[in-house]
Structure 1
Amino acid sequence: MTKLRALAHSRTGDKGNTSNISVIAYDEKDFALLKAQVTSERVKALFKGVVEGAVVRYELPNIAALNFVMTNALGGGVTRSLALDAHGKSLSSALLEMEIEDV
Structure 2
Amino acid sequence: MFVLAHQVLEQAPGLTYRQLDGWTRANYLHARQDGAGSGHSRHYTPAEVQIAVLMHRLHQAGLNVASAHQAARALAADKTTILAPGIELVLTQDGLADVT
TM exceeds 0.5? no
Which protein is richer in strand relative to its size?
Answer: 1
Greater length-normalized contact order (CA 8 Å, ≥ 6 residues apart): 1
Q: TM-score, normalised by structure 1?
A: 0.31
